[in-house]
Structure formats: structure tokens, C-alpha cells
A = this chain, B = another copy of it.
């Protein structure tokens, strides 16, 4: 039995982050807070969502509680919730109940054992670290998606570059050391599919902090601190390796 109260923005963000990769997921209500993670069916990307208990208005969970959630449904209902709505969620063995204003929405839970096993979070060491505005990153991804289906992330002494190349055109986003919130000047380069990245950036807004860890032809880790810093969403995306 779980009984929590939270801002609408948090529920909207969590469901949007999960729905970008899967339609069903396990929501773990632990003492520290809400945790959920999943890999997409193609095993190319992972999402890890954490909402610390201190980000909730009220947080009551009996021990560790695991709920099997139809994230499509929760995402759908979250569209009619406003960012500053106060939302109460009650989860028992059978149903997930969401209340806001005069609305009570109740959805059946899924047996957690029927949901695909959760991935282990890989321990990977990635040399380059970039901290930047998530809204700027979003703009770059949205523009790159118009001309290509993949993108190169590259760092060198000077800064961070996002490059996309179409048949006749090419677009480059340059963020010099001075324009980044933090940058360790390590050199790295990997290519990624825009199909995934364009889904990931949907949670990002201008003002949110994004931390990127990048290697050479290695997965990238992107940690978004969103919903006023109350939700942490990490995406790990495998590189796309191609003869150039």
C-alpha cells in the first residue's frame, strides 16, 4: 500500500520519461523514493528515473512496494493534469488510483512478474563530462533530426560539438568551453541514433541541467535534472558505429 501526494509536473515528467522507451514498467516505492528503470525492446537504450521522497508533498510507503504499471495509461491521464495540480496517488495490490481536483482515475495494475526484467545499470567509465542547459541540447537535437537520422557528439579542447550531415547539408552546434556550465576538456567522439534522442529530449526545458558523459564509440550517459530539480532522469544510449 502506497499513499503519496505530489505536484502534477512530477507525475507528468516521470510518465513521459518512461513512455519514451516502454509501455509497461515496474514502479518501485522505496524508502528513498520512487525508482523505475527499463530498456527498450531493441536493447539500445535505458532509462532510469528517480524521484527522492523529499520531492513529494507526502510520501508513505509500507516497506518496498513494487507496482506493475501500464505507463501508456498513466502518460495519457497525465496529459489532463496541470503542472501545479496537487495529485494524490494510492496504490494497493490491484489498482493504481490517481486523484486530482474532482477527478478519481483508477487503473488496474499489471502483474510485475509479467513485465520484462529490469536491466542492470552498466558501470562504464566515460572520459568527457559536459554540463549544459538541457533546452539548448533539445534545440540541437530537434534541428539535427530534420536533416539526418543520426548525429555525432564530439568534444575536444575547445568545446562540445553536435554534428549532423544530410545528403546536401550539414548542421553543427558548437558550444565552447565558456558557454558550458562545466567541461573537463577531455576528447571523445561517438555517433548516436536521432530516433532515440528526439524522444529523450521531450522531458527537457530551458533552465534544466543536463550532464553528459561521453566516450569514444561508447554509450553516452545523459542525466537530466528536471521538474525544478525534483526528478532525475538518466538515459544511457548505445552508439551507432558506422564506416564513415
Contact = CB atoms under 8 A, between A and B. Distances in A.
B102 A174 contact: yes
Interface in A111-150: 136, 139-140, 142-143, 146
Interface stretch (A34-42, A164-172, A182-190, A226-234): A164-172
A53 B60 CA distance: 59
A172 B107 contact: no
A106 B102 CA distance: 46
A152 interface: no
Contact of A175 (B80, B102, B105, B106): B102
A202 interface: no
Contact of A80 (B76, B142, B168, B174): B142
A186 B125 CA distance: 68
Given A102-B174, A102-B179, A168-B70, A146 B76 contact: yes
Integer count of this chain's copies in the complex: 3
Contacts of A103: 140, 143, 171-173
A119 B19 CA distance: 49
Contacts of A73: 168-169
A104 B169 contact: no
Interface in A152-203: 168-175, 179
A139 B77 CA distance: 12
Contacts of A76: 146
Contacts of A142: 80
Given A80-B142, A142-B80, A172 B104 contact: yes
Contacts of A108: 168-169
A169 B174 CA distance: 47
A80 B174 CA distance: 16
B139 A80 contact: yes
A171 B100 CA distance: 11
Given A77-B169, A103-B173, A107-B168, 19 more contacts: A70-B168, A73-B168, A77-B143, A80-B142, A80-B143, A80-B146, A102-B136, A102-B174, A102-B179, A104-B171, A104-B174, A105-B169, A105-B171, A105-B172, A106-B170, A107-B169, A107-B170, A108-B168, A108-B169
Interface of A: 70, 73, 76-77, 80, 102-108, 136, 139-140, 142-143, 146, 168-175, 179
